[in-house]
Each structure stands twice: as structure tokens, then as C-alpha cells.
Structure 1
Amino acid sequence: MTTQEKIGAKRLTVGAHYGWKDFLVQRMTAVIMAVYTIVLFVGILMMSGFTYEGWKALFTFTLGAFPMGQVLATLAFLSLAWHAWIGVRDIWMDYIKSAGLRLFLQVLTVLWLLASIFYFVKILWSI
């Protein structure tokens, strides 16, 4: 197969614009985490006392019957996990040349992130 045969309509393009989605997701998750950090910081400044009840109120406040504190915290944590997955996955893809080891590390990363999410949900939503 000559070089000329690879050019044109038959050319195989794999991964075109693959990084654009990840770039956008990392920026969106970073904005969500930054906004939540500001909300959390303002909530800490407005606490009357740095007690367990005050800390618990940061995560359990409601808007009507809607558990706004828990939903915002869950959204921020899911953003953190997705942000971490993209970053760590890119590290494995860039620096681990062995495909088997890279796959093993990616599977470990996914399992760790999923376990973290389940543990977070179990703790936050049991308050």
C-alpha cells in the first residue's frame, strides 16, 4: 500500500476531535467545583459557631422540600470524580507505554473512583 492510497476518502481517521470533549468537560467540572467551593466558603463564614450542627447544616439545608445542600454537594463530588478520571486517565495514557499495565491502572482508577462515589453518597445521604 503506497502513501497515495492513504489520502482521501478512504483515509482512516481515528480519534478526530477526541480531546475536545475531555477539554470541555474538565473546564465545566472545574467551574462547578469552583462555584461550590465559593458557596461552601460563604456558608462557613455565615455559620454562627463552628460546631457539628453548623457543619451538618451546610450539607442538609433545603429549599422548600428539596434537599439543596445534599444535591449541590453530590453534584460537586461527581464533578470532582469526573475531573479526576479525565486527568488520571490522561496521565496513564501519556506515561504508561505497556498496554496491559495501562489497562490495569485505568481499571483500578475507575474502581477507586466508583467506590469513592458510593461511599460519599452513603455518608452524605444518611445524614
Structure 2
Amino acid sequence: MVNNAATVGRSGVHDFILLRASALVLAAFVLFLAGFFAFTPEVTFDVWKGLFANLCMKVFALVSLFALLIHAWIGIWQVLSDYVKKAFLRGTLQFFFSVTLLSYFVAGFLIVWGV
């Protein structure tokens, strides 16, 4: 049996499913927000704050943020593995992007939960 060291335990099917699932979550979130803006006569700060005061909306927003980061990570990984041939440079860039995506998640969590 041949193991591919570049995937770190993942397979192409795993990435395919993660990309499609994250795209569905993001599409649902975008459609929800489009419907919210379409059917809300006037969007004020209080209306927006009221929307995000709901626990379901907070969870939906964080799941959508997590889906966006998964989608971005797989895309970055594929682009770097295809176009950056030097292992050290690719590893450095992957580390940089991983830290960046993690910081986006932490910032999004703090923003959504109002900590």
C-alpha cells in the first residue's frame, strides 16, 4: 500500500467532500443574508444586532466562518502544492497561511460572540 505523505492523512475524496460541504454551508448563509436584506424594510444597527442576538444565528455564522476557512485552507494547500516546488518555502507559506486563517477564526469568534 502506498501512502502519500503530502496529504497528511487526507485523500482527494476527503478534500472533495469538504469543499462541496463547505460550499453548501456558505451558499446557505449567503442566501439567508440575501433574504434577510430583501425582506427587511430597513436594516438598522438595532435590527442587525437583534439578528445576531439569536443563538441560532451566532452558531450559523460561526459554522459558516469555519466552512469558509476550510474552503480557503484546501484551496491554498492545492495552489501551494501545485506551484511552489521548494519544500521549505511551501512549508513556510503554509504555516503563515495557517496562522492567518486561525487568527481570522479567533477574530470572527470574538466578534460574533461579543467577547
What TM-score comes out, normalization by structure 2 length?
A: 0.89
Distance 2:20 2:76 in 1: 15
Larger radius of gyration: 1
Runs of 4 or more, structure 1, over 4 Å off, are none
Equivalent residue of 1:13, what SS? coil
Q: Superposition pairs for residues 100-111 of structure 1, below 5 Å? A: 100-111=88-99
Q: Superposition pairs for residues 4-15 of structure 1, below 5 Å? A: 12-15=1-4
Contact 1:48 1:54 in 2 (8 A): no
What is the percent sequence identity of the aligned residues?
A: 29
Distance 2:68 2:3 in 1: 29
Contact 1:30 1:83 in 2 (8 A): yes
Instruction: Name the structure 1 match of 2:14.
Output: 21
Root-mean-square deviation (CA, aligned residues, Å) is 1.7
Q: Superposition pairs for residues 52-63 of structure 1, below 5 Å? A: 52-61=45-54
User: How many pairs does the alignment contain?
Assistant: 111
Cα deviation 1:39-91 (Å, max 9, x = unaligned): 11111222231211122223223xxxxx1110000000000001100001110
Distance 2:65 2:3 in 1: 32
Q: Which has the higher helix share?
A: 2
1:38 alignment partner, one of 26, 31, 36: 31
1:50 alignment partner, one of 43, 56, 74: 43
User: Which amino acid in 2 is paired with 1:50?
Assistant: V
Instruction: Name the structure 2 match of 1:3.
Output: none
User: Which amino acid in 2 is paired with 1:89?
Assistant: W
Distance 1:113 1:58 in 2: 26
Instruction: Name the structure 2 match of 1:84.
Output: 72
User: Which amino acid in 2 is paired with 1:107?
Assistant: F
Give the gaps of 5 or more residues in structure 2: none
What TM-score comes out, normalization by structure 1 length?
A: 0.81
User: Which amino acid in 2 is paired with 1:14?
Assistant: N
Distance 1:79 1:59 in 2: 18
